[in-house]
Amino acid sequence: MTERVLKGLSLSPGEAFGEVLWLDREREEKDQGEVTSGNPLEALALAFSRVEEDLSAKEREAQGAGKELLQAYLEILKDPSFRGAMEEKVREGKSPREAIEGVTGHFKEVFSGLEDPYFRERARDVEELGEKLLLALSGKVSQKERDLSGKVVAARNLLASQVASWKAGEVKAVLWKEGNATAHVAILLQSLGIPAVGGLGEALEGLQEGERVHVEADLGQVTAGVSEKALLEGEKEEKKEGKGKEREEALLRAAAAPSRTRDGKRVEVAANLAHPAEAPRAKELGAEGVGLFRTEFLFMERDRPPSEEEQRAAYREVLEAMAPHRVIFRTLDAGGDKPLSYVEFPQEENPFLGYRGLRVSLKERDLFRTQLRALLRAGKGLSVGIMFPMVVSGEEVLAGRAMVDEVLGELGEERPLRLEVGMMVETPAAALLAEELADHVDFFSIGTNDLTQYTLAVDRGSTWVSSLYDPYHPAVLRLIGMTIEGAHKKGRWVGVCGELAGEVLAAPLLLGLGLDEWSMAPQKIPAVKRALSLWTGDEARALAEEALALDSPEKVRKLLENEARS
């Protein structure tokens, strides 16, 4: 079988080779095969006892976040307003199915209508319990537990209660038809360290039971139909990494210390986060702050914008989890490729060169003001950074800053202890003007993914040209160098929050260019901290100079590979 690539969303980072095991392809639809015989009240009671038994068994096995979740589910099963209300409906003549759907539907609606994101999430819990009860009613709950160890699990429906009882290192990876990174399931998978790709849609259905796949969850990508040879080699590589487990543990211990170069210079290694729930894990992995907090999760997939209070609570949660470290929030980065239902977007041929990032915020002033108020209020007594995405000129930064100052003027005591306002450098324009723009900001954060796209005129999503996409291109590196140089002349600091920051290969290069802060997916922190500790500033500078004089990304990579230290 030839190889084919499936594209989805990264739910939980990591990489794995393995064979596919379908979790629920055999399962019947939940509205078939209902138990209709006998007394409906008894049927309902039977469904409850089956689900309770199933969840109790899982709860005994589970640990940490999974265990707490299951305990909460068991408590809901006992709730008189839940079960009692269903029994009431059955007594009124409704079928058990109608009763379950009616009561779970009611609570789902109640929770979905709440402002607070934590409590709104409870709608999913109720929905999941309802599904389990319906399944139990049709006699499907106690499907034989299959041995999932060493498999790449594919699933149409994946319930948090299923995942909650899995153990770290057992399931190799998860491929899910639906899902987004803030779903309960995704957060559990992250805490277990199981790589996962979601949102695969119909493409997932093409996977065969036992088919060999290569999962690159960081890229949200699955390669199906890999050869046996490739699989064996991949697994051998994994084993080697497994043998490197001690090394990994040593890395993790070392990552707890502040990051320093070989000659003792302090550099900052921080985390990129997209949800407050990821913060504790980032801290465990040695993050010395958050260099990029993506605020989009609050704004997507809803009918109206989040309130100031809802935003404030979410931002406060990250800040408290990371304190005393700094958290840098990127203001809303929406565009025509990820539109919001409550903001008007134009029809554009190319949304990447269109109405997006700060351009939207400066037009949707109420939305922008509310976000800034929430950010500044959340920062009370703590260290906050705010940065604007997609900036090409000084006027834009000044307009953004003016809004920050205006909001600060309205606030009383409720403001950050320390506030820094910065901007993303994602366009060649911003990099070329760095020295001038530095007059208006406290810091720059280079988004190397977009900077690479815009510099090389390559859309990394377009398969015909994506091989030309390479952040190691000397032109991109020179722009990074210029940005840092311009900022340092004005006494500002510079970070990188694109994928390049998380690459061990790039660490000495970026150090040599003078970078001050690296921000990356949390699981990459230990290895990058170590890589940085192996170089002195002078050695790294010499390496960077050599790289910048080359004429292709291939030559740069070759140089870095030859010089790599471990």
Partner 1 sequence: MIREEVRVGGPHGLHARPAAQLVQEAARFESRLRLYRGERGADAKSILEVMSLAARPGETVILEAEGPDEKEAVARLKPLIKGEAPS
Interface residues toward partner 1, by CB under 8 A: 68-69, 71-72, 75-76, 79-82, 107, 110-111, 114-116, 118-119, 122, 126, 313, 320
Burial 7-29 (b: 16+ CB within 10 A, else e): ebbbbbbbbbbbebbbbbeeeee
Residue 303, Cβ neighbours under 10 Å: how many?
7
Count the residues in the chain: 566
Structure letter (DSSP) for residue 113: T
Pull the structure tokens for residue 90. 């059955």
Tell me whether residue 103 or residue 477 sits nearer to partner 1 (CB atom): 103
Interior angle at CA 213, CA 212 and CA 214, nearest 5: 140
Tell me whether residue 165 or residue 483 sits nearer to partner 1 (CB atom): 165
* Active-site annotation holds for 184: yes
CA-derived radius of gyration, the chain: 25
> 121: helix, coil or strand?
coil
* Minimum gap (Å) between residue 309 Cβ and partner 1: 9
**What's the CA gap between 262 and 239, in Å, rounded?**
30
**Residue 236 is inside which H or E element, if any?**
helix 228-243
* Minimum gap (Å) between residue 144 Cβ and partner 1: 30
* Minimum gap (Å) between residue 373 Cβ and partner 1: 18
> 549: helix, coil or strand?
coil
- Of 552, 540, 473, the C-alpha closest to 510 is 540
* Minimum gap (Å) between residue 359 Cβ and partner 1: 34
**What's the CA gap between 134 and 98, in Å, rounded?**
10
* Minimum gap (Å) between residue 69 Cβ and partner 1: 8
* Minimum gap (Å) between residue 301 Cβ and partner 1: 20
* Minimum gap (Å) between residue 288 Cβ and partner 1: 23
- Kindly name the residue from 214, 275, 325, 497 that is annotated as catalytic: 497
- Of 194, 549, 89, the C-alpha closest to 97 is 89
Structure letter (DSSP) for residue 307: P
Tell me whether residue 62 or residue 69 sits nearer to partner 1 (CB atom): 69
Q: Look-up: residue for tokens 């537990």?
A: 145
Helices of type H across 423-534: 428-432, 434-437, 448-456, 474-489, 507-512, 525-533
Cis preceding linkage at 324, omega within 30: yes
406 CB burial (10 A radius; 0-12, 13-18, 19+): exposed
Do 304 and 298 meet the contact criterion of CB atoms below 8 Å apart? no
Pull the structure tokens for residue 500. 């390049």
Tell me whether residue 81 or residue 466 sits nearer to partner 1 (CB atom): 81
* Minimum gap (Å) between residue 558 Cβ and partner 1: 51
**What's the CA gap between 475 and 469, in Å, rounded?**
12
**What's the CA gap between 167 and 180, in Å, rounded?**
21
230 CB burial (10 A radius; 0-12, 13-18, 19+): middle
Tell me whether residue 84 or residue 461 sits nearer to partner 1 (CB atom): 84
Give the catalytic positions in this structure.
184, 497
